């Protein structure tokens, strides 16, 4: 069971890590498909 839980934790870590990393790397949808003119930030 420990291996199973470790696997599930790995899923969470990789998923969150990938999301954050891609976001920081400029792959967020608003970065890719919207110009500054239509940003709200």
Question: Which residues of this chain interact with other proteins, rule CB under 8 A?
Answer: 1-4, 6-8, 10-11, 14-19, 27, 32, 35
Two tokens, residue 25: 């790397």
- From CA 30, how far away is CA 40, in angstroms rounded? 10
CB 32 to other proteins: min, Å: 8
CB of 24 to other proteins, least distance (A): 14
Closest distance of CB 6 from other proteins, Å: 5
* Residue 34 Cα distances to 3, 14, 25, 38, 40, angstroms: 43, 27, 16, 7, 11
Of 6 and 40, nearer to other proteins (C-beta) is: 6
């Amino acid at each position: 069971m420990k291996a199973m839980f470790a696997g599930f934790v790995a899923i969470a870590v990789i998923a969150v890590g990938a999301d954050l990393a891609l976001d920081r790397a400029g792959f967020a949808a608003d970065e890719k498909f919207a110009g500054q003119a239509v940003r709200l930030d």
